[in-house]
Structure 1
Amino acid sequence: MDETIGYRGPTACGAAGVTYRQLDYWARTGLLEPSVRNPSGSGTQRLYSFRDILVLKIIKRLLDTGVSLQQIRVAVGALRERGVQDLADITLMSDGASVYECTSDDEVIDLVRGGQGVFGIAVGSVWREVEGTLAQLPSERADDVAPDHPGDELSARRRARRTS
């Protein structure tokens, strides 16, 4: 995965199945900040990496199953510590209150036998799903200068000021 390639907010939302409002809130509160380009001021576009979008999709799935945002923050913290390739071998299990990270089938079975695993998310399958979705969506490099949006009034004023 090329970490210099990123996806703008609306693209990340579409691939992960979250609203832009959720994405913005999670970025502002530090749950998941964009790792390719995090805006430093007005007019800078956030760029999310493949890994960011993978984690967004996992957050969405955990929320949909009733896991609290507090528990999701703990799970995301653990996911951040892993390399991208390591994520594909993880299964996240939850009982609706806590999230457990399993790296083997035996761990999954032990959780289910103990009554702690109610549902699981195989990160590898989410990975393939996100990969397929992003293959059809536009991306850009982190070092690309974001073009002015033609419908943006402020950008139009700046362009006019530069040319005069």
Structure 2
Amino acid sequence: MVSTGKAHESQKQVHAPLDADISRTAALDDATLGYRGPAACRAAGVTYRQLDYWARTGLLEPSVRNVSGSGHQRLYSFRDVLVLKVIKRLLDAGVSLQQIRVAVAALRDHGVRELAGITLMSDGASVYECTSDDQVIDLLRGGQGVFGIALGSVWREVEGTLAELPSERPDATEMAEHPGDELRRRRVAKKAG
């Protein structure tokens, strides 16, 4: 169950706005800039097997380019990688995949910049979405919050990691060179003749 905590609309956000940090990362909103599976895995701390399973089952499909079969690779946006890292943290805390699916569905309703002001709280069974300090306090007083994930801090972690990893645009994938991608180089060379 994800509680959106809309009763406290007028109260302040859990975290100071990240406008300064977020405005300097306008590329993060760019839905045409993507990260291949291995880069997304490294940034989120998940295995490629997990990433593939979640894409195939619809938990988190890549928003830049979602493909099936061979020849093309999925491309994940910054937002996708942020949500992947949140999924990983929830799994590590013992939250069921069923509850994680509900939480991820609720996060889809928010724009990428709105995510920075959200804290997910959980008691291990349910996940609650908080957008104000009062909502967090109410959950803790009610005994419902055992741990929390401040998406603003996850944002900064993912941003720092992705800054060091290669990204690409979906229209430039055929000729783009990616370090360590020997199979791609062979396919391109074979096509060229």
**Normalising by structure 1, what TM-score?**
0.92
Name the SS of the counterpart of 2:144 in structure 1: coil
Find 1:126's aligned residue among 139, 154, 166: 154
Name the SS of the counterpart of 1:117 in structure 2: coil
Distance, in Å, in 2 between the alignment partners of 1:143 and 1:153 is: 17
Q: Give the Å deviation of 1:143.
A: 1.6
Equivalences for residues 24-35 of structure 1 within 5 A: 24-35=52-63
Distance, in Å, in 2 between the alignment partners of 1:150 and 1:105 is: 50
Aligned position for 2:116: 88
Structure 2 unaligned blocks of 5 or more = 1-28
Letter of the structure 2 residue corresponding to residue 77 of structure 1: A
- The worse-fitting range, judged by mean Cα deviation, of 89-98 and 142-151 is 142-151
Q: Give the Å deviation of 1:135.
A: 0.6
Aligned position for 1:155: 187
Structure 1 unaligned blocks of 5 or more = none
Q: Give the Å deviation of 1:22.
A: 0.2
Equivalences for residues 1-164 of structure 1 within 5 A: 1-147=29-175, 149-151=181-183, 155=187, 159=190, 163=193
Letter of the structure 2 residue corresponding to residue 155 of structure 1: R
Partner deviation per Cα, 1:55-92 (whole Å, 9 max, x = no partner): 00000000000000000000000001110011000000
Q: Give the Å deviation of 1:7.
A: 0.2
Q: Give the Å deviation of 1:159.
A: 1.9
Q: Give the Å deviation of 1:40.
A: 4.5
Contact conserved, 1:45 with 1:146, CA < 8 A, in 2? no
Distance, in Å, in 2 between the alignment partners of 1:4 and 1:153 is: 23
- The worse-fitting range, judged by mean Cα deviation, of 40-49 and 83-92 is 40-49
Distance, in Å, in 2 between the alignment partners of 1:100 and 1:129 is: 22
The CA RMSD over aligned residues, in Å, is 1.9
Q: 1:10 to 1:109 in 2, by over 3 A?
A: same
Contact conserved, 1:92 with 1:100, CA < 8 A, in 2? yes
Distance, in Å, in 1 between the alignment partners of 2:50 and 2:160 is: 23
- The worse-fitting range, judged by mean Cα deviation, of 41-50 and 9-18 is 41-50
Letter of the structure 1 residue corresponding to residue 139 of structure 2: L
Distance, in Å, in 2 between the alignment partners of 1:143 and 1:46 is: 13
Name the SS of the counterpart of 2:120 in structure 1: strand
Name the SS of the counterpart of 2:61 in structure 1: coil
Distance, in Å, in 2 between the alignment partners of 1:61 and 1:80 is: 17
Letter of the structure 2 residue corresponding to residue 17 of structure 1: G
**Normalising by structure 2, what TM-score?**
0.78
